[in-house]
Amino acid sequence: MNVAKLIVKCLEQEGVQYVFGVPGEENIDLMDAFSDSTIDFIVTHHETSAAFMAGTYGRLTGKPGVCLATLGPGATNLMTGVANANMDHAPLVAITGQAGLDRQHKISHQYYDLINMYEPVTKWNTQIKTPSITPEVVRKAFQIAGGDKWGATHIDLPEDIAAMDTDGQPLPLMGRPHTEASEDVVKRAASMINQAENPIILAGNGIARQQATEDMRAFSEKSQIPVVHSFMGKGTLPWTNDLSLLTAGIGENDYIACGFDTSDLIITVGFDIAEYPPKNWNSNGTTSIIHIDTTEAETDMNYPVALNVLGNITNNLRHLSEAIDTRKRDKEWAANVRKQTINEFESFRTDDSFPVKPQKIIADLRSVLREDDIAISDVGAHKMWMARMYHCYEPNTCLISNGLASMGVAVPSAIAAKMAKPQRHVVAVCGDGSFQMTGAELETAKRLDLPIIVLMWRDNGYGLIEWHQKKEFDRASYIKFGNPDYQQLATSYGFEAINIQAADDLKPALEQATAMAKPVFIDCPVDYKENMKLTEKLGDIIC
């Protein structure tokens, strides 16, 4: 067999079910090898979409998603999605076709040095330069991508190497050892927690990644310490839990910021500073931090780590729960924060103004979706509203791209989410700007017979940029664009299309969409005058 067929056998050994990508001339040997494989190759309309799909599939399954592109523009298109997965710590293996070794020493058609290009956006990447190393390269790519701190890896395959014969075989899979913090470190952490009068927990993406949700909940209950969630940590505690301080991270003053201001100890769990910059919640850098994660934190002057509790998060939380004292704490301030935030959410349930206010859209969406259904927010003004007000019962039920924060992520990710979790309703929450970046993937959803729901907030412009411009300059510039007839567009792709014409239309439309066994597109005009109203409101909050 040739190297391309060996790579496919290695992917089968790794348990890969799907590869997302776009075929090209320099990866035709791989494409032919997939024809005889148990792996389904999912053809996408853009390489960035393929990487978005692979990253989301990896995040929801815990196994690296795989994406494929050819050389040159295929590889550079793929890179955005790879970087997105790497910054959000989603496990992903990217494979690119490449020019033959005989022309890499000179300027050549579509050739760029992809190893150097991918180096800053991956945990590890390499080129297969000889057939014999193929099994090692594939095994290492999966091992590193799916390690304790998930991320992206990249394999570059020259077309001449892909066609060469080899007698190699896939390597066996290996288990990963679990490291734990020492008993002394756990005792020191417990002592700091016991002595703190107003500790607070900041829950991050790593809790779900390490399957530590139940142990995190047990630790919070025993310690009676309130929990703030990053965008990517939403659902660590159910939003109905009295200890849940819901979500922080929009970069503005908010009710939840008061908790950080009064805290004398911040316990971060599975948290990466790309999720929520420490300068926004520890501006003086004076509040000590216990950092509980698999790896040490990034150095940051506003993130003064007094103690690292490193290793398997589940085991370390379990040991810490055993070591801390059971004590009562003053939760009145936490109850006040919850009350103000939830009251704001509830107050818009019956709002009948049109275009529909962001708060109303979210209230209707939350009331229709079940506890384990998945909402995926694209990037734009709607992201800030979803992050702040879409409250979760379980982790990984509101997916938000927050590291690279790349527009266009929602529709491709909804496709992958529905493939990973077919029994759940999946909703892609998009702006019209972000939708048009990857909207061609509606055809992919229809071709795969995936009943996803696309809920588009339409304002005919880049609403988030307008929001920032008005805050900074009190005027907006160059943010408006035209839109097609989305009713016709969605219908032409085979979607059921619903046009919202009054605020009271939205909830019934969502209920109708979840009841259908087909893909549905909902076009909902949004009133973004609420953006500046929120800015003014947050500016008036006094802790």
CA nearest neighbour of 539 among 247, 251, 345 = 251
Domain ranges of the chain: 3-162, 183-333, 347-539
pLDDT score, position 383: 93
pLDDT tier at 296, thresholds 50, 70, 90: very high
**pTM more than 0.85:** yes
CA nearest neighbour of 157 among 196, 231, 100 = 100
Within this chain, domains 3-162 and 347-539 share the same CATH topology: yes
Is the pLDDT at 543 greater than 80, yes or no? no
Query: What DSSP element (H or E) covers 118?
Result: helix 114-118
CA nearest neighbour of 57 among 537, 481, 510, 448 = 448
3-state SS assignment for residue 344: helix
Q: Which amino acid is at 422?
A: P
Query: What DSSP element (H or E) covers 98?
Result: strand 92-98
| Structure confidence by residue, pLDDT tens digits, 473-520 | 999 999 999 999 999 999 999 999 999 999 999 999 999 999 998 999
CA atoms within 13 A on the CB side of 327: 15
Q: Encoding tokens for residue 384? A: 């800030």
pLDDT tier at 26, thresholds 50, 70, 90: confident
pLDDT tier at 252, thresholds 50, 70, 90: low
pLDDT score, position 99: 78
Is the pLDDT at 287 greater than 70, yes or no? yes
Is the pLDDT at 538 greater than 90, yes or no? no
Residue 207 C-alpha from the chain's centroid? 13
- CA dihedral over 386, 494, 481, 356, signed as positive or negative: negative
**Calpha distance 495→234 (Å, rounded):** 30
Give alpha helix (H) positions in 351-409.
Answer: 358-368, 381-389
Residues pairing with 229 in the sheet: 203, 247
pLDDT score, position 253: 64
pLDDT score, position 337: 80
**Calpha distance 440→426 (Å, rounded):** 18
Percentage of the residues of the chain whose pLDDT score is greater than 70: 97
Longest Cα separation, the chain: 71
DSSP state string for 401-470: --SS--TT-HHHHHHHHHHH-TTS-EEEEEEHHHHHHHGGGHHHHHHTT---EEEEEE-SB-HHHHHHHH
| Structure confidence by residue, pLDDT tens digits, 335-370 | 888 888 888 778 888 999 999 999 999 999 999 999
| Structure confidence by residue, pLDDT tens digits, 390-404 | 999 999 999 998 889
| Structure confidence by residue, pLDDT tens digits, 414-429 | 999 999 999 999 999 9
- Class for the domain spanning 3-162: alpha beta
CB 11, CB 67: distance < 8 Å: no
CA nearest neighbour of 256 among 196, 363, 334 = 334
Mean pLDDT taken over the chain: 93
pLDDT score, position 249: 67
3-state SS assignment for residue 395: coil
pLDDT score, position 64: 98
Query: What DSSP element (H or E) covers 321?
Result: helix 313-323
**Calpha distance 339→256 (Å, rounded):** 11
Q: What angle do CA 163, 15, 170 make, to 5 degrees?
A: 45
pLDDT score, position 313: 96
pLDDT score, position 541: 52
* Rg, C-alpha atoms of the chain: 24
Q: What angle do CA 233, 234, 240 make, to 5 degrees?
A: 140
Domain 347-539 sits in CATH at 3.40.50.970
CB 399, CB 374: distance < 8 Å: yes
Averaged over 155-167, what is the pLDDT? Answer: 94
CB 297, CB 282: distance < 8 Å: no
pLDDT score, position 339: 84
CA nearest neighbour of 193 among 121, 142, 141, 269 = 269
pLDDT tier at 452, thresholds 50, 70, 90: very high
Q: Quick one: 183-333 is in which CATH superfamily?
A: TPP-binding domain (3.40.50.1220)
CB 209, CB 314: distance < 8 Å: no
3-state SS assignment for residue 361: helix
Residue 156: phi and psi, rounded to 5, are: -105, 125
**Calpha distance 536→543 (Å, rounded):** 16
